Structure 1
Amino acid sequence: MKLDISLYIPVYNGESTIESVLKSALELDPGPNEIIVINDGSTDDTLKILNKYKNKIKIINNIQNKGLAHSRNIGIEKAVNENVASIDSDVEVSSTWLKELNDTKSKFNSAMSGSKLIEKLKDENIYNMWRHIYATQNSFGNIDIGNLGRPLSGSNTLLSKSVWREIGGYEIQYKTNGEDSNFCQKLLNLNYKTSYCSQAKCYHLRNDNLKSLLDASRRGYISGAGLKKPTVMRFMQRSIRHTKGYLKNAIKDVVKLRFAMMYVGFRICWNHINKEFIGLVKNKSNYV
Structure 2
Amino acid sequence: MHELVSVIIPVYNGEKYIIQTLESVLNQTYHNLEIIIINDGSTDNTLKLLETVKSEIITIINQENKGVSHAKQVGLNNAKGHFIQYLDADDLLSLDKIEVQVNALKQHPNSIAVCSTIHFFDHENHLNNVPSEYEDKFLYSTDSPVDFLINLYGGNRNGGSMIQPNAFLTPISIINKMGGWDISISPCPDEDGEYFCRAILASEGIVYTSNTYNYYRKFLKKNSLSALKDRPATERLFKSILLKKEHLFKHKQTEQAKYAIAQQLISLAVETYPKYTSLSENIIEEINKIGTYSFLPISGGPMIQKLSKFIGWRLARKIQYKINKK
Q: Same-fold call, TM > 0.5?
A: yes
Alignment deviations for residues 96-139 of structure 1 (CA, whole Å, 9 cap, x no partner): 11111222333333442222211122886xxxx9xx979x9xx3
The separation in 2 between residues aligned to 1:106 and 1:78, in whole angstroms, is 23
Aligned letter for 2:164?
A: S
Give secondary structure in 2 for the equivalent of 1:198. Answer: strand
Contact kept? 2:140, 2:206, Cα under 8 Å: no
- The corresponding residue for 2:208 is 196
- The corresponding residue for 1:140 is 136
- The corresponding residue for 2:29 is 29
CA RMSD of aligned residues (A): 4.1
Contact kept? 1:66, 1:175, Cα under 8 Å: no
Question: Which residue of 211, 216, 221 corresponds with 2:227?
Answer: 216
Give secondary structure in 2 for the equivalent of 1:48. Answer: helix
TM-score relative to the length of structure 1: 0.68
Contact kept? 2:85, 2:168, Cα under 8 Å: yes
Q: What displacement does 1:195 show?
A: 3.4
- 73 and 15 in structure 1: CA distance in 2 versus 1, 3 angstrom threshold: same
Give secondary structure in 2 for the equivalent of 1:114. Answer: strand
- The corresponding residue for 2:60 is 59
Is it true that 1:94 corresponds to 2:79 in the alignment?
Answer: no
Higher mean C-alpha deviation, range 79-88 or range 153-162? 153-162
Identity %: 23
- The corresponding residue for 1:234 is 281
Q: How does 1:121-140 map to 2 (within 5 A)?
A: 121=121, 139-140=135-136
Aligned residues: 244
- 106 and 90 in structure 1: CA distance in 2 versus 1, 3 angstrom threshold: same
The separation in 2 between residues aligned to 1:59 and 1:233, in whole angstroms, is 42
Aligned letter for 1:187?
A: A
Q: What displacement does 1:215 show?
A: 5.9
Contact kept? 1:167, 1:187, Cα under 8 Å: yes
The separation in 2 between residues aligned to 1:178 and 1:168, in whole angstroms, is 17
Q: What displacement does 1:184 show?
A: 2.2
Q: What displacement does 1:29 show?
A: 0.7
Greater relative contact order structure (CA < 8 Å, 6+ sep): 1
- 245 and 18 in structure 1: CA distance in 2 versus 1, 3 angstrom threshold: farther
Question: Which residue of 152, 155, 166 corresponds with 2:166?
Answer: 155
Give secondary structure in 1 for the equivalent of 2:4. Answer: strand
Contact kept? 1:110, 1:146, Cα under 8 Å: no
Q: What displacement does 1:182 show?
A: 0.8
Q: How does 1:66-77 map to 2 (within 5 A)?
A: 66-77=66-77
- 133 and 118 in structure 1: CA distance in 2 versus 1, 3 angstrom threshold: closer
Contact kept? 2:111, 2:203, Cα under 8 Å: no
- The corresponding residue for 2:297 is 244
The separation in 1 between residues aligned to 2:226 and 2:100, in whole angstroms, is 34
- 112 and 47 in structure 1: CA distance in 2 versus 1, 3 angstrom threshold: same
The separation in 2 between residues aligned to 1:48 and 1:274, in whole angstroms, is 44
- The corresponding residue for 1:165 is 176
Give secondary structure in 2 for the equivalent of 1:74. Answer: helix
The separation in 2 between residues aligned to 1:73 and 1:245, in whole angstroms, is 36
Uncovered stretches (5+) of structure 1, i.e. residues with no partner: 252-268, 279-288
- 215 and 106 in structure 1: CA distance in 2 versus 1, 3 angstrom threshold: closer
- 123 and 98 in structure 1: CA distance in 2 versus 1, 3 angstrom threshold: same
Give secondary structure in 2 for the equivalent of 1:85. Answer: strand
TM-score relative to the length of structure 2: 0.61
Q: Higher Cα Rg: structure 1 or 2?
A: 2
